[in-house]
Amino acid sequence: MTLTKRISCLWLMLCVSTALAGELNVSNSADLLIKAQKENELIPVLSDQYPELDVETAYRVQKAYVLRRLADDQIAGFKAGLTSEESQKKFGVTFPISGVLFASGRKLNSPIIDKSMFKMLMIETEIGFVVGKPITHPLKDVSELRSSIKAVMPVIELPDIGFTDLKNLKAVDIIAANVSSSQFIVGTEKDAMSLDLNNITVTLSLNGQVVNQGKGSDALGDQWNAALWLVNAITKQGWKIEPGYILITGVLGKMIPGKEGKYAVDFGSLGRISFEIK
């Protein structure tokens, strides 16, 4: 073998081993997240271990984590996060992020939520879009999206932000950890075309006291544009959006800590949801 060929072979082996090492990091990171989820441990902040973690790699970790979860769970839909300028500035990004909702996390109206199942339970008031037709590729505009949506509904998302290090938490860590997806409560479906979603006002009360208010337009300035962004982000990642899936578009108002007590949520023309945290 000539010297040139030896150098070429060594270079090829180096490239392959580097690629494999990168794959192993993704796999190992997903395993860490699975362990935390199964054992209800604090969620690892991966960027502490991998400072080079970028958005693309974070989504690869998320997908590996989700695929592991799907061994004994199912997809119920998808979620958008960091949909306000305030939240994006907090994490030094200029874009929203997306994650997967699991069927095991779906709760119907008026459930009792067990706080011990969370590391750090939070509450978000959101609007959900119920998919009526399969979506397998990015859509060109809102009018195309409307033809694939069969209904809308009020949703309370209950994310778990129990990370090991909240001070140094980055957007890539949130992405990798599936945007803190845990449980969500769904209300009654309504006709999507009969409501002005952006002007819906939501009021969240705890034991009769108002603790949060928001408006439909809080999510990227427009509910339908937020849903379109989410659909296109998800399909670009290779996911297929099936009929019956729910798309939640981001928090209305603020994310607040999940304290024990009885909650009532008024979404105006979209409906109401009640639940209790114990």
Q: What is the DSSP string of 257-272?
A: E--SEEEEEE-GGG-E
Q: Average model confidence (pLDDT) for the chain?
A: 92
CATH number of the domain bearing residue 120: 3.90.850.10
**At 163, which amino acid appears?**
F
Model pLDDT for residues 176-187, shown as the tens digit of each residue = 999 999 999 999
Residue 109 has what pLDDT? 81
**At 265, which amino acid appears?**
V
d(CA 122, CA 203): 16
Residue-wise burial string across 209-228, b where 16 or more C-beta atoms lie within 10 A, e elsewhere: eebbbbebbbbbebbbbbbb
Residue 252 has what pLDDT? 98
Residue 32 maps to a domain: no
Q: Closest Cα partner for 130 from 148, 149, 143, 154?
A: 149
Judge contact between 229 and 247, C-beta under 8 A.
no
Long-range CB pairs of 222-227, under 8 A, 24+ apart, other chains included: 222/198, 223/127, 223/197, 223/198, 223/249, 224/142, 224/145, 224/146, 224/197, 225/142, 226/80, 226/83, 226/96, 226/250, 227/129, 227/145, 227/149
List, in sequence order, every residue forming a beta bridge with 266; answer none if it has no partner: 203, 272
DSSP 135: B
Residue 185 maps to a domain: yes
Residue 27 maps to a domain: no
Residue 231 maps to a domain: yes
Low-confidence ranges of the chain (pLDDT < 70): 1-24
List, in sequence order, every residue forming a beta bridge with 80; answer none if it has no partner: 98
d(CA 135, CA 7): 48
Q: How many distinct structural domains can be found in the chain?
A: 1
Q: Please give the structure tokens belonging to residue 278.
A: 């114990």
- The pTM for the full model equals 0.90
The CB-side HSE value for 47 (13 A sphere, CA atoms) comes to: 20
Domain enclosing residue 87, as ranges = 75-277
Residue 33 maps to a domain: no
Residue 25 has what pLDDT? 87
Residue 9 maps to a domain: no
Residue 233 maps to a domain: yes
d(CA 83, CA 146): 20
Residue 69 maps to a domain: no
